[in-house]
Each structure stands twice: as structure tokens, then as C-alpha cells.
Chains A and B, each alone.
Chain A
Amino acid sequence: MTAKGHPKAITRLLLHLHPKKVNVQAIKFNRTFGLGGIAALLFVLLFISGMLLRFAYVPSVKGAYDSIVDLQENILFGSILRNLHYWSGMLLVVVSFLHVLRVFYSQSIYHERRKNWLYGLIIMFLVVFSNFTGYLLPWDQLAFWAVTIMTNMLSYIPFIGDALADMVRGGNEVSETTLLRFYHFHTGLLPLLMAFLLSVHFWLVRKSKGVTVQKMEEKQMVDTNPNLIYKEIFTALIVIVALLLFSMLVNAPLLEKANPLISPNPSKAPWYFMGFQELLLHIHPGFGIFVIPVLVTTFFIYIPNIKYPNLNVGQWFNSEKGKKLTILSLIFSLVLTIAVILTSEFFLDLRNWMPNIPVLISTGLLLLLLYFIPAAAFLFYLKSNQKAEKIDLVMALFTIIITAYIVMTIIGSLFRGEGMHLFA
């Protein structure tokens, strides 16, 4: 505010993103952990640093790699700029993911927030897609082979897979067309789409009267400015300083220039897709790339549309029992996933044991059942012995899926070495 008490137009606009008064419970840090706000901040940081990087970057096979090297070596603060963009992008994937977990487990996706859950999922997808399209731009070995692997994963989608992969790449291998295409997605279409969807996302939060709170009946309201605004600025400053420090200390990776003739050993997809790559090592690609993701996505979208008898909106894990069952599911999924991975890696050779059965059944369906039957039995146990309600079961299933993906991501990225062998 200026001295006369007439805030400037932009300040006023920004202040109007919030309501005039907010619930005391809603602005406690451990209600949201500021995750949505941090994600929005990272989007802005990425937008600014990305705009600057565009002035240095040359989107061609000949020029891309050299322009990055030039940026890092000859331009003042060039490497900090690139690091900041890189680490903000990676952090955005993590923070958005945590944000999804937070709203899910605090029961903040039901009734009037149903639609916003869907928008949130779309934005989460766009965040990952943006990160992935940006991954190719440095045109080094890491980028080239990660994108080669990822686009080839697409070709396993039945019927349209090959056409889709060729369409994404603009040919049957990663080339200059792919680079240019990814560049335009990354710097044009996707940020624009996200800016639009973020506005809808924020507006829908306002429409549902802000974030959910633990005790809905207590409505002690305080002024947003300064109570919430100070907290936001404080968090934002900490994030910015931490990112800047990190960017000064840790360089974004840059390997040697991309060489289509030599694949590095091992070649890995970007870390957030390593769960898929790990899955693909065990199960038939038709299942790993198509059946399972479609089932999981449908389930996620469908969650808020189920009718729950005892829903406590805003309660972490719905109830104390829900919390207990969620932790139980987490442990169960941790053990089961690791067990199945080890079994499949060291003991199973379904393909050669059953040479006459199509691989779609032997390494596909059978392996899925190997995971599915214990999981179903566990859910049944929760229902009959632990008296789990519908909401508890949905949380349990969600927890199993998420934990499995995290376990696969960690095993794939950290425990696989040469030739993608475990503990190599």
C-alpha cells in the first residue's frame, strides 16, 4: 500500500487472488504445507528464467548443444540461470506430486472440489509433459536417449502406438524435427495452456471457499493481509533463496553431445518415468504402457465421484482408523512391490517356462495377477477384519498404487546399473 492507503493496481489485483478474510485454521502451515503456492511460485520462476534462456538457446541439432555450453561458459550468470531453470523444473514435479497427495489424503477433493481434482490432474500431467519436453532441449546423450526410450514406450500402445510415437517424434527416430517440436511445446503451447488452466484451478479454489479445514464448524476469521500474505511472502523467499543457493552449488547435468550411434549403458528415461521403465522390465509392454496406466488413471479420475457414507471433508485420512489403515497399506505395498520385483528378477522366467502360451498372457496377465491377487486379498482383509469403510478402501488402493510407483522409481533410478541389472 502507498502512504495514502491507495494500493497500486497490480498490488490490488494480486491481493484479490485471496478473499478479504480467511479461516485461522486454513492458514496454518501444516494445513497445506504451502504446496500449491510453492508450485505456483515455481511456475512463475520457470516462466521468467525460461524466457531469458530463450535468448541464448538455438533449437537445432547443430546449435543446441553448443549454445548450452556457450551459455554456461561465456555468459555472465549463464550457468546459474540454466541451473535455476533445471532445478525449479524438477522441484515443480515433486511439489505438484506432493500437492496431489496432500489434497487427496486431507479429503479435499469431494463435493464442490470434485471438478478441481480433475483440473489438478490435468495440470499435473502438463507439468510432467513440460518437464519431459524440456529434457530433450540440451541435446546431450542423456536427453537424446531418455527421449528415445520414452517415445518408444508410446509405441507399445495397441493399434495407435506406432503412429502416435511417429507423430510425437515427427519420424521414426528422434531428430531435428523432434527437437523443434518439443521446443515449441515447451516454450509456447504448454506454458500458455498451463497459465489458462491454473487460472481456472485458482478460481475453483475460491469458488469452494478456500482450502478445507480440519474443523469445519469453527469459523474464526482473520484478515488475509497481513496474516496470510506474510506467510506466503516468507515461504516464497525461503524457496527462492534455497533454489538460488542450490543452483550455485549443483550444476544441471550435461553429458557429451547426442550421438544416435551409441547408446550409453545403461540408458534411462527421466527419473519420473523410471517407474514405468522398471515396470516394463517385468511385465509385457501392452500391460505396462497401456492396461495398467489406463486403469490407474480411470480410478484416479473416478475417486471423487463415488458416494461415501462417512466422509469427513478436511480430516487427514478421514479418521484415526483411516490413518492406521493407510499406514498399513503403505507397509503392505512396500513389501509386496519389493517382493514381486525380486521374484520376477531372480526366479521367474515365465516366457521360457511356457513357450507355447502367448507372451501377452505369460509375461502380461500372469504377472499382473501375481501382484493383483495379494493386493485384492489385502483389501478384502481390510474390509472384513478391520471393518474398513468405502473411503478407507479407496485410500488403501490409492496408497498401494502410489507406493508401488515410488518403489519402482527408486529401484529403477538408484539400484540399477550396467545393463539395467539390479545391484550392478
Chain B
Amino acid sequence: MVFKKIKFNRRTFIKRAIYAALSIEVLYVFTRLLNKNNQSDKENGLYDAGNINFFENDKVYPFSKGHFYLSRFKDGGLLAISTKCTHLGCTIQFNNNKDKFVCPCHASAFTKNGEVLSPPATRALDIYPITIIDNKVMVNTSKAIRRNKYDASQLTYV
């Protein structure tokens, strides 16, 4: 029944094929244009956070320029936690008194290892890969790693 309504012959087929091809082409060129800048962002290299011996165990250090917090655990493991709240992208702050990350926008809170303490956020804070070169802590801020939960394998040791 439905097919009866659609008039489909050689001419309309060619016409529609040309329209479709043209639209796809324009759309493709446009999305490529919009995506162009994404790639250049990713080339940014490593962020030098400083000498590893400077960071005491069980403390959190802010790196506002690098958009991350460097958290050193009791056993000396390092975690570079993104400051971008996983709820709607506001910048979280570390609250020293309460020992947790708090988002000023919608009151999401996260533990020191980035796990959700209170909603509306639904997933743990992103982390950045850390490499240690000549005792220097290098954080790759161009490569955020998504995760749902914290586990010990995310830590980096000397």
C-alpha cells in the first residue's frame, strides 16, 4: 500500500541520486571542516609536573594550568585527575578540609581517587596517563582516559 504512493521511475531516481550525492558531499566537507581543529589539539605533548620527590604521600596537588590534580596515595602511587567534572564539565576544586573534590556548579562530589561521592555526576573523574622520566613526573594532558571506577591498576609508581 505504502509503495503505491511513491512514484519511482528512471528520471526521479537519477534526480534523487544526484541530490543525495550532493548533500552527502556537502555534509562530509562540512563535518571535516568542523573536525579539523580537533586533531591539532591532540598533538600537545607532555606536561612537566616537577620532581617526584617533591610530592608527599597522601596529598593532593593542584595544577590549574594543566587542568589536573596530582594525587599521591599513601603507598606512593600517583594519579593525575582531570579537573573537568564528569557531570557537565565545570571545573572541580579540591576541598582540603573535607578531603574531597567538589564541583561548584551542581554540587557533585568525588573522593581523592576521583570516584563519585554524591550525584548528579554518574562516573568517576577522568585521569591522564603519567610517565616518569629522570624522576620527573610527566603528565599527558592531551589524552584523557575515561573510567567508571577507580582501581589500583590506574596508579603509577616510580
- From residue 147 to 163 of chain A, which have CB atoms closer than 8 A to chain B? 148-149, 151-153
A351 at the interface (CB under 8 A from B): yes
A267 at the interface (CB under 8 A from B): yes
User: When the two chains form their complex, are residues A148 and B64 in contact, meaning their CB atoms are under 8 A apart?
Assistant: no
B104 at the interface (CB under 8 A from A): yes
| Nearest B residue to A350, CB-CB | B119
| Nearest B residue to A168, CB-CB | B34
- From residue 356 to 396 of chain A, which have CB atoms closer than 8 A to chain B? 359, 363
CB-defined interface of B92-114 with A at 8 Å, one 1/0 digit per residue? 00000000000111110000000
CB-defined interface of A130-157 with B at 8 Å, one 1/0 digit per residue? 0000000000000001001101110000
User: When the two chains form their complex, are residues A181 and B104 in contact, meaning their CB atoms are under 8 A apart?
Assistant: no
A261 at the interface (CB under 8 A from B): yes
User: When the two chains form their complex, are residues B90 and A171 in contact, meaning their CB atoms are under 8 A apart?
Assistant: no
A145 to B67, CA, bound (A): 16
| New contact pairs (19) apart from A167-B34, A262-B91, A419-B106, CB-CB < 8 Å | A148-B88, A149-B89, A149-B105, A152-B87, A152-B89, A170-B34, A260-B91, A261-B91, A263-B91, A263-B104, A265-B105, A267-B88, A267-B106, A280-B88, A280-B120, A284-B122, A420-B105, A420-B106, A421-B107
| A to B CB contacts below 8 Å, 29 in the list | A145-B90, A148-B88, A149-B89, A149-B90, A149-B105, A152-B87, A152-B89, A166-B38, A167-B38, A170-B34, A170-B37, A171-B37, A173-B84, A177-B37, A181-B34, A261-B64, A262-B91, A263-B90, A263-B105, A264-B104, A266-B106, A267-B88, A267-B90, A281-B106, A281-B120, A285-B122, A419-B104, A419-B107, A420-B106
The 7 A-B pairs of least Cβ separation, nearest first, read A152-B89, A265-B104, A419-B107, A263-B90, A267-B105, A170-B37, A152-B88
- List residues of B whose CB falls within 8 A of some A CB: 31, 34-38, 41, 64, 67, 84, 87-91, 103-107, 119-120, 122, 144
